[in-house]
Amino acid sequence: MSARLLLVLLLVAAAGCARKKEDAQPLPSADVPTHAVTPAFAAKKWKVTQSSAVAPGTTYEFRDGGALVVTSPGSPPLTGSWAWSEGNFTMTEEGITYPTDILALDDRTFRIRSNNPGEPVEITMVRVP
């Protein structure tokens, strides 16, 4: 068999094996259940120990469902909300929503930076038992 004939046969065979993009069928998707992720600071009460703008002793309670209750000594509670979506944390106080960075979080300490207009506010809190 000549080399030229062999080359033609290989090209014909390869063309028959190739699939057009539009002929390709998508792979079946596995039905993987997904669950909302609850961040570790949620459903807990935290007390401010140090901050660039918040009085020590102020408490932040991140309730299930996104309610936020901030209580300062000698003041009525402030209600707002918090949200966690795809790793992005926001807090809403007095109708204004602030993107918030989590700087540290463990069983006892929660440190955040609230990116308010003007200067960002850093807050270090400890868990209230």
Buried-exposed string 10-37: b where 16+ CB fall within 10 A, e elsewhere: eeeeeeeeeeeeeeeeeeeeeeeeeeee
In a domain, 18, yes or no: no
In a domain, 107, yes or no: yes
Q: How far, CA to CA in Å, does 51 sit from each of 85, 93, 111, 125?
A: 25, 17, 9, 9
In a domain, 70, yes or no: yes
- Predicted model pTM: 0.71
In a domain, 51, yes or no: yes
CATH number reported for the structural domain that contains residue 99 in this entry: 2.40.128.490
In a domain, 58, yes or no: yes
In a domain, 23, yes or no: no
pLDDT for 21 beyond 70: no
Can you give the pLDDT at residue 32? Answer: 66
| 31-52: pLDDT as tens digits | 766 556 789 999 999 999 999 9
In a domain, 8, yes or no: no
The residue range of the domain holding 96 is 44-127
The whole-angstrom separation of Cα 94 and Cα 89 is 17
| 6-18: pLDDT as tens digits | 444 444 555 555 5
In a domain, 2, yes or no: no
The percentage of residues in the chain with a pLDDT greater than 70, rounded to a whole number, is: 72
The whole-angstrom separation of Cα 66 and Cα 126 is 20
Q: Which of 73, 76, 110, 109 lies closest to 91 in space, CA to CA?
A: 110
The whole-angstrom separation of Cα 123 and Cα 113 is 6
| 108-123: pLDDT as tens digits | 999 999 998 889 999 9
Our count of domains for the chain comes to 1
Select the more confidently predicted residue: 118 or 124. 124
pLDDT for 60 beyond 80: yes
